[in-house]
Amino acid sequence: MPIKAIVRALGISRNTVRAALASDGPPKYGRTPAGSAVDAVEPRIRELLQAYPTMPATVIAERIGWDRGLTVLTDRVRELRPAYLPPDPASRTAYDPGELVQCDFWFPPVTVPVGSGQERAAARLPVLTMVSGYSRWLSAVLVPSRHAEDLFAGWWRLISAMGGVPRALVWDGEGAIGRWRAGKPELTAECQAFRGTLGTRVVVCRPADPEAKGLVERANGYLETSFLPGRRFASPADFNVQLTEWTATVNGRIRRALGCAPADRIAADRHAMLALPPVAPETGWRASSRLPRDHYVRLDSNDYSVHPAVIGRRIEVVAGLDRVRAWCGGQLVADHERAWSWHQVITDPEHKAAAVALRRQRVGMLRPVGPEPEVEQRSLSVYDALAGGGDGEGAA
């Protein structure tokens, strides 16, 4: 189109059309910067930052005699300071497949009924949590207590469910795991036996160093803000069922830091882990003693009945997270569901009936059997004569 036709079509001047055709891009409004009051003192600011790179902006204002608003000065100092500070790159922590799993206890701020009219608050609700460093696979289980027997039983349950043994397990200073002493970590005897069976190593973090296991610390916070709200729990078993379902859902969600879901990485994690031991480590409660006459054994403040037929014989009590069993000579003589309440007496009806039958049998063995023997009955006059009372009538 000719310039005149463009002018008639758009209703603009010919000079505007000529300028637009001569330019390389669309017209753009530009305004020359008016400058800032800080420009005059910028050389002095640079001198101070070169000598003292961390000097606060308020101190710089005092040194240069600044009597205007601090906002423009603070903005200029923020722009200039990086040029005078030494580089401080932050390292990024990366984990190889199967390398490491972080472990911790989480105490959910809820109340859970445990039976017998009792409830457990947060301080007595330890949830064992584990997070894999490479895949970020999250697993957790509520255990009855922080005792070493329950801790290692829950720990083995999570490790076996993962399908492999990581080459390192990271803990903080948990009492059942170990502690730092004389400048070096020291594991408990139970932890040494457990990790020896698995063929792995246990790393105990230094005191007051939560960043060393930041993955599991963040997972605990995520559990508290995403799992707990809006939930109710009827029992510890119900808590674990809901927790297992939730972790399965979470492990399928895409993580921004990974660019994929933990479920997409767990296969590579398991492939690089150590194989599970052919023989499971001994975990849980174990005790051996002779069964007393009342045929009950105590475990974690609760009494459990044992079949009275083995009274006086040596029995072995084996308890895990869910069951309490007793064995005598290779024969099962007690099997109870483990109680989470305290100071209770748990009796098997079969054991109670057997005890009643044995007591009756015992009484029958000790009581005389057959006709009663004849006993001579003396006359009262004989006793009166012995007492010196004369004849029987006077004495009477």
Please indicate, yes or no, whether residues 296 and 346 belong to a single structural domain of this protein: yes
Same domain for 118 and 177 = yes
Q: Is 108 exposed, middle or buried (0-12, 13-18, 19+ CB in 10 A)?
A: buried
Most confident listed range (3-12, 30-39, 102-111, 387-396): 102-111
Q: Does residue 22 fall inside a structural domain?
A: no
Q: Which phi-psi region, left, alpha or beta, contains residue 257 (left: φ > 0; alpha: ψ -120 to 50)?
A: alpha
349: which 2 tokens?
A: 């009806």
Please tell me the predicted confidence (pLDDT) of residue 369: 55
The predicted pLDDT at position 377 comes to 73
pLDDT band at 378 (very low <50, low <70, confident <90, very high): confident
Structural domain includes residue 234: yes
Final residue belonging to a domain, choices 208, 243, 272: 272
* pLDDT of 394 over the 50 cut: no
* Phi, psi (rounded to 5 degrees) for 201: -120, 150
Asked if residue 392 has pLDDT above 50, the reply is no
Q: 232 and 264 share a domain? A: yes
Residues 268 and 289 in one domain: no
**Residue that is last in its domain, among 243, 272, 301:** 272
Is the pLDDT at 395 greater than 50, yes or no? no
Segment 227-282, tens digit of pLDDT: 999 999 999 999 999 999 999 999 999 999 899 999 999 999 999 999 999 999 99
Least confident range from 140-154, 168-182, 376-390: namely 376-390
Average pLDDT over residues 52-57: 94
Mean pLDDT across the stretch 362-369?
66
Handedness of CA 72, 75, 80, 86 (dihedral sign): positive
Cα dihedral value 236, 143, 125, 248, nearest 10: -70
In tens, the pLDDT along 205-229 reads 988 887 788 999 999 999 999 999 9
In a domain, 185, yes or no: yes
Mark whether 184 and 306 lie in a shared domain. Answer: no
Q: Is 384 exposed, middle or buried (0-12, 13-18, 19+ CB in 10 A)?
A: middle
Share of the chain above pLDDT 70, in %: 95
The label of the residue with tokens 């001198």 reads: 47
Segments forming the whole domain that contains residue 192: 101-272
| Final residue in a domain of this structure, among 25, 56, 85 | 85
Same domain, 126 and 192: yes
Classify residue 124: in a domain, yes or no: yes
pLDDT band at 371 (very low <50, low <70, confident <90, very high): low
CA triplet 128, 340, 287: central angle to 5 degrees?
A: 85
Instruction: Give one DSSP letter per residue of 341-382, joined into a string.
Output: SSS-EE--HHHHHHHHHHHHHHHHHHS--SSPPP-----HHH
Q: Do 166 and 267 belong to one domain?
A: yes
Same domain, 194 and 48: no
Number of H helices, E strands in the chain: 13, 16
Q: What confidence score (pLDDT) does residue 30 get?
A: 80
Residue 379 resides in a domain: no
Asked if residue 260 and residue 121 are part of one domain, the reply reads yes
User: Does the pLDDT at position 91 exceed 60?
Assistant: yes
Tell me: do 293 and 259 sit in the same domain: no
Q: Give the DSSP letter of residue 114.
A: E
Residue 27 lies in a domain: no
Residues 114 and 158 grouped into a single domain: yes
**What type of residue is 2?**
P
Per the structure, the count of domains in the chain is 3
Beta strands 118-120 and 127-132, pairing class: unpaired
**Residue 138: is its pLDDT beyond 60?**
yes
Among the listed residues 299, 330, 302, the one whose alpha carbon sits nearest the alpha carbon of residue 314: 330
Question: What is the pLDDT, as a whole number, of residue 96?
Answer: 93
Hey, which of 154-168, 203-217, 352-366, 377-391 has the most confident mean pLDDT? 154-168
Residue 380 lies in a domain: no
**Of 20-34, 97-111, 271-285, 309-323, which range is least confident?**
20-34
Q: What pLDDT was estimated at residue 396?
A: 41
Does 92 have pLDDT greater than 50?
Answer: yes
Q: Report pLDDT for 391.
A: 53
Mean pLDDT, the chain, as a whole number?
Answer: 90
Residue 332 vs residues 61, 280, 288, 298, 347: alpha-carbon distances, Å = 84, 21, 14, 17, 16
Clarify whether residues 179 and 111 are in a common domain. yes
Q: Residue 376 falls within a domain, yes or no?
A: no
309: which DSSP letter? Answer: G
Is the pTM here over 0.75, yes or no?
no
In this predicted structure, which of 148-162, 202-216, 263-277, 321-335 has the lowest mean pLDDT?
202-216
What is the pLDDT at residue 345?
A: 95
| Token pair for 250 | 């979470």
68, 48 in Cβ contact below 8 A?
A: no
